[in-house]
Amino acid sequence: MKMAANLKLLSFLIPCAFLVPVLITMAPDLKEAWNSEALQNMKTVFIGIFLEAAPFLLMGVLLSSLMQWFVSEEMVRKLTPKNPIGGVLVAGLLGIIFPICECGMIPVVRRLMHKGMPAYIAVTFILSGPVVNPIVFTATLLAFPSHPEITIARMGLAFAVAASIGMLVYVFVRRNPLRMPKVAVTEVKTHPGFKMAKPHAHANAHDHNHVKNWRSFFIHAGDEFVDMSKYLVIGALITACIQTFISRSDLISLGNGPVASYVFMMGFAYVLSLCSTSDAFVASAFSHTFALGPLVSFLVLGPMLDFKSTLMLLSTFRTRFVIGLSLAIITLVFAGSWLINLLV
């Protein structure tokens, strides 16, 4: 194992070694380019977006880890009624109680479906949970302090789209959409990593297990924060590059298009794959360029469907189901945001 790790490190360092002479030769030009006014503006925009979003990303990761380690999945299942309309409504608002980031939503829901949660309730929770929760609500308000209608429109459209798709799944999907619906899942009261001390164990052993569980919790939260920070960094960097190197007139021409502005912002949300606790700060950078509708389409589509979540959905659900779900999300988000733009 250690040898394999060393070989992997060498495979990375050797190509870098060949780049050193080239970088030394280009050093004066690189220094001049790096200190140019355009790159200084790009760095300022990038740092500003990242510093605004990072606290909310950390908050979301900590709450997600608390849900994963210390809250029983049975508790979530008991909150979902058997009536389809009531189940969709409860699932659409479940994110208020259990604010799980979209990155941890699919694995949790998959376990719940193996335990008997209906597909329509699970899909509604997957789509609404990452948006309809207090953390995302607060982050969106702070990202758009002078435009509270954007926050209201985001919450309302996300709930409406999730509930509508949940009812569509209830009506049209008759077979279990999971790839492996017959996998046996062991019923547990808490997360498998949360091990209770034995009844007759010594008090010191119980304290040791308790400390170990909290240590595992923080390790899990740290790993998830580092993993999600990659997407935030990439998204902030791309946004900073767009604002710096693409002229405002070109962006305004996209924003003036009746359809192109929606296509651009929805495609942008899909590619960036930002966490729902931080995407509002990226969208706020375009508040003077795009109208309300395209901004809302960015804020609603991203947490429901992006590049990384598509891969996770394909690993969990059947391909035909994911294709149909994706088309329904895109259609309803586009139609809903376009209608909001007309009415508000």
- 7 has pLDDT over 50: no
Q: Which residues of 100-130 are buried (b: 16+ CB within 10 A; e: fewer)?
A: bbbbbbbebbbbbbbeebbbbbbbbbbbbbb
**Cα-based distances in Å from 89 to 81, 82, 94, 256, 280:** 10, 11, 9, 36, 25
Residues 132-158 pLDDT 10s: 999 999 999 999 999 999 999 999 999
Can you say whether the dihedral through the CA atoms of 140, 146, 152, 158 is positive or negative?
negative
Q: What is the DSSP letter of 317?
A: B
- The pLDDT, as a whole number, for residue 73 is 63
Give the least confident one: 187-201, 226-240, 271-285, 306-320: 187-201
Residue 138 contacts by C-beta under 8 Å, 6 or more apart in sequence? 56
Of 60, 177, 73, 201, nearest in space to 129 by CA: 60
Regarding predicted confidence, which is higher, 77 or 209? 77
Query: Which DSSP string do the residues of 271-315 spell out, in sequence order?
Result: HH---TTTHHHHHHTTTTTS-HHHHHHHHHHHHHS-HHHHHHHHH
The structural domains of the chain, with segments of one domain joined by +, span 50-343
Q: Please state, for a pLDDT cut of 70, what percent of the chain lies above it.
A: 74
Residue 207 has pLDDT above 70, yes or no: no
The band of 255, judged by pLDDT with boundaries at 50, 70 and 90, is low
Q: What is the mean pLDDT of residues 54-69?
A: 74
Nearest to 230 by CA among 57, 48, 99, 105: 57
pLDDT tens-digit readout, 29-60: 545 555 677 788 888 888 888 887 788 778 77
- Contact by Cβ (8 Å): 70, 220: no
127 has pLDDT over 50: yes
Compute the distance between CA of residue 19 and CA of residue 92 in angstroms, rounded to an integer: 52
* Percent of the chain residues past pLDDT 90, beyond the cut: 32
Output the pLDDT for position 88.
92
3-state secondary structure of 344: coil
pLDDT of residue 27: 52
Residues 169-188, mean pLDDT to the nearest whole number: 72
Rounded distance, CA 319 to CA 247, Å? 40
Q: Report yes or no on whether pTM surpasses 0.75.
A: no
C-alpha span between 260 and 44 (Å, rounded): 29
Which of 128-137, 253-262, 264-273 is modeled with the greatest confidence? Answer: 128-137
| CA gap 285, 48 in Å, rounded | 10
